[in-house]
């Protein structure tokens, strides 16, 4: 049985194989690898931290409980993101939350709760002015993403935050390649318009 350190160096398919052999450490390694990207995707979809925690947990429970259905000719991460996206989209459809308040979670009932559910993006600029501009841009882009349609949001997040190719996104979301390109193009266009004021 590979040690914990060795698991970190194994490719996803090998870790999945170990998980199918009943190794709990392999299950935990898969969670460790993808908890942040999955949570980030879901959080930006639903804009509520507590809800995103629950949906992320649901995603991993679904994936790890049905690992025997995973096909190794498909990337594990793509399969995982597919399920995460479906979980988030299903929730949004049930809650009819196609547009989300930019002022924090719609479930926030106190000022503190609203503040804690807004985004504060860290930056790495060199001086105070650049720092302020970067912070403003970072927050502005988050607010702009929140206003995108869920389908556009999924595509743009997978493309630019997760670094997936168009073909991988099409495969992950079960969409035609042309549709993915259209969604990303439209998302970029909307984000550009939303950020115009920060460029002045």
What Rg do the C-alpha atoms of the chain give, in angstroms? 18
Rounded Cα distance, 190 and 107, in Å: 26
Which residues, other chains included, contact 185 with Cβ-Cβ below 8 Å and sequence gap of 6+?
Answer: none
Q: Which of 10, 64, 102, 175 binds other proteins (CB under 8 A)?
A: 64
Ramachandran angles phi, psi of 191, nearest 5°: -65, -40
* Binding of other proteins by 37 (CB under 8 A): yes
Rounded Cα distance, 200 and 186, in Å: 22
* Binding of other proteins by 160 (CB under 8 A): yes
* Binding of other proteins by 191 (CB under 8 A): yes
Sign of the torsion formed by the C-alpha atoms of 33, 36, 37 and 38: positive
Residue number with CB closer to other proteins (75 or 135): 135
- Give residue for tokens 């949570």: 39
Using CB under 8 A, which of the segments 5-13, 77-85, 99-107, 191-199 binds other proteins? 191-199
The token duo for 76 is 């594990």
Smallest distance from other proteins to CB 199, Å: 7
Using CB under 8 A, which of the segments 7-15, 58-66, 75-83, 91-99 binds other proteins? 58-66
Give the number of other CB atoms < 10 A from CB of residue 183. 22
Q: Which of 133, 137, 143, 149 binds other proteins (CB under 8 A)?
A: 137
Rounded Cα distance, 133 and 135, in Å: 5
Q: Which of 2, 28, 86, 102 binds other proteins (CB under 8 A)?
A: 28
Smallest distance from other proteins to CB 146, Å: 12
* Binding of other proteins by 189 (CB under 8 A): yes
Rounded Cα distance, 40 and 38, in Å: 5
* Binding of other proteins by 56 (CB under 8 A): yes
Q: With contact defined as beta carbons under 8 Å apart, do 143 and 102 qualify?
A: yes
* Binding of other proteins by 53 (CB under 8 A): yes
Binding site for other proteins (CB under 8 A): 1, 21-24, 27-28, 31-32, 35-37, 39-40, 43, 52-53, 56-57, 60-61, 64-65, 121-122, 137-138, 141-142, 156, 159-161, 163, 181, 184-185, 188-189, 191-192, 195, 199
């Amino acid at each position: 049985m590979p040690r914990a350190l060795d698991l970190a160096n194994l490719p996803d398919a090998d870790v999945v194989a170990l998980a199918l052999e009943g190794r709990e450490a392999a299950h935990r390694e898969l969670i460790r690898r993808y908890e942040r990207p999955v949570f980030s995707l879901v959080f930006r979809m639903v804009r509520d931290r507590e809800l995103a925690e629950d949906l992320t947990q649901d995603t991993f429970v679904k994936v790890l409980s049905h690992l025997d259905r995973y096909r190794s000719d498909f990337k594990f991460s793509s399969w995982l993101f597919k399920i995460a996206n479906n979980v988030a989209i299903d929730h949004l459809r049930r809650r009819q939350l196609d547009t989300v308040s930019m002022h924090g979670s719609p479930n926030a009932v106190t000022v503190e709760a609203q503040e804690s559910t807004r985004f504060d993006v860290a930056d790495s600029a060199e001086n105070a002015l650049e720092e302020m501009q970067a912070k403003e841009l970072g927050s502005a882009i988050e607010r702009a993403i929140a206003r995108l349609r869920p389908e556009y949001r999924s595509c743009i997040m997978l493309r630019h935050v997760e670094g997936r190719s168009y073909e991988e996104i099409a495969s992950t979301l079960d969409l035609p390649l042309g549709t993915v390109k259209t969604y990303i193009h439209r998302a970029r266009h909307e984000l550009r318009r939303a950020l115009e004021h920060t460029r002045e």
